[in-house]
Every structure is written in C-alpha cells, then in structure tokens.
Chain A
Amino acid sequence: MSAAATETGDIQAIVDRGFGSLRAARYLLLRVIDPAAARAWLRSLTVTSLAEAKSHRVSCVDQIAFTAAGLRALGFAPDDIPGFAPEFLDGMAGDERRSHRLGDAGENAPQYWNWGAGAKEPHVLLILLSTEEAIATREAQIVNALPSAGCTLLALNRSNAHVGHEPFGFADGVSQPVLDWEGTLRPGGVRDRVYRNRLAMGEVLLGYPNEYGFVADHPTKAGVGRNGSYLVYRQLEQDVRGFWQWLAQVAGPGGAGDLAARMVGRTMDGAPLDDLPVTPVEGTQDRDNSFTFAADPDGIACPIGAHIRRANPRSSDDPQGRRGFVRDLLSSLGLKGTAIHDAVAAARFHRIVRRGRPYGPAISPAEAITAAEGAPLLPSGIHFICLNANLARQFEFVQGAWIASPSFAGLSGESDPLLGHRGPADGSLATDAFSHVDRHGCPRLLGGVPRFVTVKGGAYFFLPGLKGLAAILSG
C-alpha cells in the first residue's frame, strides 16, 4: 500500500496545514434544495489539493465537506454504503445521549444552537481561506452563485482574527500531532510506553493503518472513503469579559493572569508552565511541546484539570514508562504504581488535528476587566474544527471522557475550566470547581466557576479525498 505522501493530489490540503498566513476564513454552511443543481455547482468549484498547496504558495483555498444529511440530500445514500462511521451517520446533535456525553447539555444543548440541529442542520461546509484583501470578492462570488446552485445559505461564519490566538488571549493550536505521511511508523511493543507526538496516518485519513496497526473499515464503494477524514466543527462562543472579570474578582487584577494560566495549563504566549521539566518528545522539536506530565503526576506544576491536560494528557500507554522487561511486565499486570496515577493512559489513540480559527474582536485582558457590564461587545469565540478518522475514539472520547468528564483522571466536581458547562454531573455534584496548587505550593480549591464558553453550533462532516468528492458529486 502506498504512503499518504504519494497521494497528496487526492487529499484536501487542510489535512496537512491550517494556512495561517491566509488571514481570512469563511465557513459557509449550506443546505441543498436541488440536488442536481447543487452537484453541478459543487463540481465547478476547484478544491485545493495538498499537492497543489505543496507545489506553490496558494493565495486562496477552497475545501468541501458534507454531513450525512448532506450526502442524503445530494442523493448519495451514505446509509446504504457500508463503512461510514455510525457517529457520522447519526450526526452530532442527533441523539440526546450523545449530546449528554459531549457536554451539550443545559445552555449548550443543540436546541439553543444557531445552527446544527433539526432544520438548521447543515448539508455542505464550504471553507474559503484567503487574504484579507481578496476574501470579500471570493465570498461575494460564492454567495451570489448560490441561488442558481440549488443551495441555501444556513450560516456564513467569518474569521478575520489573528490565527493562533483565541479570544481569551492565549496562544491556540500550539500542540498538533505530527502525521506519519511516509508511513514509516510501526506502533506496537515497548516503544508505545513512551509518549510520542508522531501519529499514524490512519488516525486522520481513512484507508491507512492506525495506531493499532490496522486499516479500519471505511466506505470503499467508488473509492469514496480513501483519503477522506471526518471533520468536526463546533462554534464555541467565549465570554471574554466574564472570564477576565471573574478571574480578577477571585485572584485580584494582579493574580488574574497567573490563575488563567493555571486553568489553561500554559502561559498566554503558549509556553508550558514553569515547573514542568523539558522532556524530548518524538515528533516535535518545539520547546513549547517538549514536555509531558509524567514528572507531575499530582498536578503540582500543571493542574490535573487544566485545559491542555484534559485535551491531551500526553500519557504513554503505561505511565510507568519503559523500564526493562521485568518491571514493564509487573506494571502491565497492575502490580506497580497506583490506580489514580494510571487513570489516563495511551493518549495516542485519542489525538485530533485541529484546524480551527477564532472570530470576533480581540480585546486584551485589561480591557475585558474594565469593560462595563452593560457595554455591548461583539460576540467572539472559536470556530473549532478538527480532523480524525474515528469519531468515537478520537473527538468524542476527547470531548466526552476528558474535556467534559466530571471524573477525568479521578477528579470530582470539576469540568474543563474553559469549556465546562458546570451543570451537575450524573448523580453527582455540580462541576463548577477547579483545584490547583498555587505558586507557593499551597493547594487551592475554587468553587462556583462560571460557564465561560457556550456551544452555538456543531456538526460532523465528511471531508472526502478528491476522487471521493468526484464520486459523491457524480450523481
């Protein structure tokens, strides 16, 4: 089987890169009303392949993805083709139990979303990336074409903000897995006892071996699945004023930044927290990613419940690490180490590639703290986009078992300090606490942490390869 690196002409470019130099992004969420017209129009668009992006500096990028409802609306029956992921076919908002697991409850529930549920479920996602100068023209071209293209515009989401920073002011997208494009990674054995950042291609692209060493099922009819990926899109609105004003209230204006950094798990410029030792990690040279939490099992340097630790605990298959045959064996049998320090293992099965961008005005923490309560602020947040090959084991696991879980790593009464909805856990306490150890080594427990982020929309999309796209649009 050929490596993904030899098939870049068939892969949408966003799989490999976020195009941060193209500062403007438009996310068009469309509904199909005339399948034949929609297919013809979508065929007329030029989708940027990775091969093209690699060959020269592109000034605009178009990418296309579909929800299951969209494939149905286009007449390409995904339910009748074996191999599509059940989570994709069900949709992000299609089942109350799924919403519950993902933390889409209370104010985050799909019924309150701007888009994503019921009649507001999108069919097609069109991603346009370009320079700030060129984007308006490109946007107008597309929007003007829609009436004759058999599609209606459900939402037009814009991002002109600085890629790489999120509205609270922190660096974003610092940690990304490095994909094994050449197909040389051979997972298995004692190597997996050490955390690495290099990730098997099959964790992101369909048709390649994954971290278990197997090619998972994917739709093979007409080659529709190969080189495709599942794209998760969630619009997360951030209460920047509420965030910084709460921090200033509990930690004082001088301590707000420090507490915020503990909640995030990084400083605002993206550096790991001070006391985490530098550790070489296979698959990254970046100082900001050369660390794990192995030396900090009790969360003294970086809180156990910090956002980045929940989103990626950087754990190897066994937190005891690689220590020789006998000790490895004893550890595998559960005869070494403790339960609480082995609560979160094998992060390599739960990685995602993030391609999101922020939206809304950038305001500094100082401005946010002094902003008057009633003063109107334009909404800001993140168009969170991630790619993965196995929705259940990757995005849904990260979101459900790590980010939203009230029992992550043995914690209780907490949820992600940035993303949590704070409602009571199943049969349990409210999840509005945050525990950490302050810079003097004193354990602190904060209660009543408000909700800072509200989900405003979301859907699961399939981002096909270019041949797959042609198959879908062939009618």
Chain B
Amino acid sequence: MPQATGQVTGQAQLFIAGVLRHGAIPGLSALLATMNAAPGQADPANSLVPFGRIPSLHVARFVVLEDPSLPDRLIAPTLPVQEPTRLAFIADFDGTPDALIADLIAITAPGLRRIFGHCNDFGDETDLLQWLRAHRVRSAATYVNWRGRSTAQVREEAALHEVLRTARLAHPRASPEQLLPILHEAGAAMTLSPVPAPPLTWRIGETAHFLLLPAIALILAPVLLPLVPFLAILLRWRETRDPVIAPPPSRERNRTLSALEDHDITNQYSAIGSLKPGLFRRWLTIAILWVIGWGARHIFGKGRLARVNTIHFASWTFLDEGRRVFFASNYDGSREAYNDDFINKVAFGLNLSFSNGLGYPRTRWLILGGARHEQDFKRYLFHHQIPTQVWYKAMPGLSTYDMARNTRIRHGFESPPSGAALRRWIAEI
C-alpha cells in the first residue's frame, strides 16, 4: 500500500510528564518492570503498552524523573529545596504528536491508565486523551539522526540488506560483476516503498524557520552588540566563581545503571539537573537550546550532530518553570565510549548545552574547558544520570551507521553502479 504522502513529514517527539503521588514510586517501578523482557528493555508485546503494535514508533521510554542531584541546591539557596517527582513518557516517532496520542489511546489505553494512575491528578474518572494533551511538555530542543527517515524505510532497507548479505555470503568467490545479477535476484521480491518527497508547504515552513535565526540575529544585533562586553564580563565573573559538583561515582549506583545497559547496540540515556540560579543563566540556556534545536533541524539532519554520529534521537526539556533541564538520548555503543566520544569530538557543544547546569565543570568563555576536564565531566554526567525504567527501540541491533549504510545499499540496488562504484557498493553489503 503506498504511503499517504503529505502525512509523514518526518519524525516528531512527544514528551508527557505527570507529577507522581507521594509514595507511588515502588508500586510504579514494579508495574513498569513487568513491561520488560530484560532489565530496562521493553518487551515489544508487553500487555501494558505493546510498543510493537505502533509501527510509527522509533524509540520510547518511561522514566521516573527522580533527581539525585537536588541536594546540590545547598549551594544555590535561591532555588527551592524540593521539586516534584514526575513520571515521563517520551517517544520519537513518524508523524504528528496528535496521531501518536490517538494510536496510544486506541491500542494502549488500559495500560496507560494503570501507569499514569500513579500521578497525583489522575483518577478513575480522568479523560485519558485530555490528560495526555494537558500534560504534554514541549522540549526546548530535539535532535533526529536522519530527518525524514521513517520506521518503514529503516525496516525495508534493513530487510533488503539482510537478503543481499545472505546472497553475498553464499557466493564468497564471485566477482563483483558476477555478484550483481545474483544480488538483484535475491532482492527482487523485497518491498521498497518510495520515500515520500516532503510537500511544498512543509518545505516553505522549514525555509521560513531556517531564516528565523538570521532574522532574529539581525533584529537583536543592535541591542545585543553593545551589551556584549558587559555580558562577557558577567559570564567570566560567573565562570570563575561557580562551584563544580562532581563527586566520585558510587559503585552501587553504577551497577544499577549498567544493569540496564548494553542489551542492544543502542542504549538509552536519561539525565536531570538544575540550572544555575538567576536570569542570566536561564536566558542563556533558552537561547543556546533554541540554537541547538535550530541547528539540529536545519544543519545536522543527515547522520551527524556536529561530529557525533552515534545518536539516534535526543531531546533537552525544561522542567519546573525552567529551573531544571531533562536530557534524553538514544545512542550506540556503551556509556563510557559515548562519554569519550562526546568529550573528544564536541566538548564545545557539551559546554554550550550543559554549562549552565549547577555544578558543571569549569568552562572558559562558554565553550572552552568544561568537558575537557574529563574526570570532573564524567562524574558530573554520572551524578545526573538516572535509570530509565522502560526503554523501547523498534529496530534492535541497528546502529546509526547501519541505517545510513542500508540506505546507500538501497540506492545502489535501485540504480546499479558499475566499475569502482560497484565494488564500493558490494563492499558495504
């Protein structure tokens, strides 16, 4: 069945959060654990929220936003001592949030009622649809590894790769020219739906949004430029005084977190923390996350977030009127390697996006230092990482590299290369 073009204009993210009842966490954790096939890994067919029955889903998670770093606020007395503990549901999917909510209600309403029933404003009489809509939180920035690549496309291309690889393995001595017809025969029966071209209205919208950054920059320049020296002094004054909070990791907590990790090539990552107090840091964070979201949308939509290639989806979300930020990502490889990749490739980006966090390792001029203090930075990350109770990935075993490679293989399959390009194409299968 051809896809309804004009409907799917790429991936979207849905973030729903409700405040938990006092004492709800043990019962909720036990309930969420029943959804898992392995620690933290959702069974796609679990009876509460059978993620596998929602074909538009890429990744999803339930996570209890229990913030181990709230005691850090001792150094920031202007911040409240307590914040509410929420349950968050986060999904990255194809289509619109409204369509996903409709699917969720159609397929998983009883399960969602049991789960969100642990929230303090959810009762037996609650209208689920209204509640979900009312508890939607719009993330300040989201990142998608490959804009517009649907689950259907990923699945079809992975299936194509699998049959081509099997055929290639069966003919280890064949030359590229001999292999080509064999591969074409092997893949002939595979479904490859055309990738829908984005509609004109969508492209106009994207262009308009792209122009927003230069437009805003132009408008604000006359106001901001004269302020730059003062803002710079303010920044440096704060950077040299803000305390660093990076305690040595607890081995026990590390075991809790690692028990949930490395069950797939891809891992989930959830982290929460407070922003440094004051309007300066608040507005700086808002501006930086807006620019990150802009960059993710217009510049970094083809497999790389700056030089980091291993993130499938990520999001930065303000909570509590901007006092806290929650960061979620889905990345390939294990945690230590992810941290190292981050530090070595995009320390400047980490500093931009996280240095307004309370206790972040000392930065210089917003982008220098910071994450380059490897030990402090890893400890800071660990200090803010929280366990993700339930995590679902629709395409197990596929890395971002696999997905990009499968698309290249598909292109070669559809328009067969020759000569050196044929050899390169076959080498990738």
Contacts and interface: CB of A to CB of B under 8 A. Distances in A.
Given A334-B306, A428-B396, A339 B251 contact: no
B262 A426 contact: yes
Contact of B307 (A334, A426, A427, A442): A334
B336 A339 contact: no
A441 interface: yes
B165 A413 contact: yes
A441 B424 CA distance: 10
B34 interface: no
Contacts of B307: 318, 331-334, 342, 345
Interface residues of A, number: 60
B74 to A, nearest CB: 21
Contact of A410 (B258, B341, B399): B399
A346 B344 contact: yes
Contacts of B411: none
Given A101-B334, A340-B405, A332 B348 contact: yes
Interface stretch (B89-97, B215-223, B371-379): B371-379
Interface stretch (B167-175, B187-195, B277-285): B167-175
Interface string B344-386: 1100100000000000000000000000111100000000000
B239 interface: no
A317 B341 CA distance: 10
A32 B406 CA distance: 55
Given A214-B375, A345-B344, A435 B427 contact: yes
A442 B336 contact: no
A407 B303 CA distance: 16
A447 B426 contact: no
Interface in A422-470: 425-429, 433, 435, 437, 441-447
B401 A339 contact: yes
16 contacts: A82-B248, A97-B255, A97-B261, A217-B375, A332-B348, A334-B306, A340-B404, A345-B307, A396-B336, A397-B336, A410-B401, A412-B399, A443-B176, A443-B426, A445-B169, A446-B172
A89 B427 contact: no
A426 B38 CA distance: 12
A130 interface: no
A90 B251 contact: yes
A100 B335 CA distance: 13
A400 B258 CA distance: 14
B169 A407 contact: no
B103 interface: no
A251 to B, nearest CB: 10
Contact of B300 (A334, A342, A425): A334
Interface residues of B, number: 55
B249 interface: yes
A315 to B, nearest CB: 10
A393 interface: yes
B337 A317 contact: no
Contacts of B333: 401, 405, 407
Nearest to B306: A334
A351 to B, nearest CB: 13
A331 B399 CA distance: 23
B57 interface: no
Given A346-B344, A427-B263, A339 B400 contact: yes
A34 interface: no
A401 B265 CA distance: 11
Interface in B256-272: 258-259, 261-265
Nearest to A396: B336
A442 B396 contact: no
Contacts of A425: 265, 397
B228 to A, nearest CB: 20
A400 B265 contact: no
B397 A429 contact: yes
A89 B175 contact: no
Given A317-B344, A410-B401, A97 B259 contact: yes
A433 B166 CA distance: 11
Interface string B283-326: 00000000000000001100111111100000000000000000
B53 interface: no
A97 B423 contact: no
A442 B334 CA distance: 33
A331 B265 CA distance: 27
A210 B340 CA distance: 14
Nearest to B399: A407
Contact of A340 (B398, B401, B429): B401
Contacts of A350: 340
A349 B347 CA distance: 15
A338 B408 CA distance: 13
Contacts of B300: 334
A392 interface: yes
Contacts of A214: 373-375
B66 interface: no
A412 B402 contact: yes
A340 B400 CA distance: 10
Nearest to B168: A445
A95 interface: yes
Interface in A325-382: 331-335, 338-340, 342-343, 345-346, 349-350
B67 interface: no
Contacts of A349: 340, 344
Nearest to B295: A333
A86 interface: yes
B3 interface: no
A182 interface: no
Nearest to B400: A339
Interface in B80-126: none
A413 B397 CA distance: 10
A120 B248 CA distance: 30
A298 B344 contact: no
A333 B307 CA distance: 6
Contacts of B309: 339-340, 342-343
B43 interface: no
A406 interface: yes
B207 interface: no
A435 B35 CA distance: 38
A350 B375 CA distance: 15
Among B299, B303, B348, B375, the most chain A Cβ lie within 10 Å of the Cβ of B375
B405 A410 contact: yes
Contacts of A396: 336
A273 interface: no
A73 interface: no
B172 A333 contact: no
Q: Which 10 A-B pairs have the closest CB atoms?
A: A428-B397, A427-B396, A410-B401, A443-B427, A339-B309, A427-B397, A334-B306, A346-B344, A401-B337, A447-B169
B337 A334 contact: no
B52 to A, nearest CB: 14
A216 interface: yes
B303 A339 contact: yes
A426 B397 contact: yes
Given A86-B251, A90-B251, A339-B304, A212 B401 contact: no
A11 to B, nearest CB: 23
Contact of B404 (A339, A345, A427, A429): A339
A424 to B, nearest CB: 9
A343 to B, nearest CB: 6
Nearest to B261: A97
A426 B336 contact: no
Contacts of B157: none
Contacts of B169: 433, 445, 447
Interface in B392-429: 396-402, 404-405, 423-424, 426-427, 429
Nearest to B175: A442
B138 to A, nearest CB: 26
Contacts of B405: 340, 410, 412
A406 B334 CA distance: 12
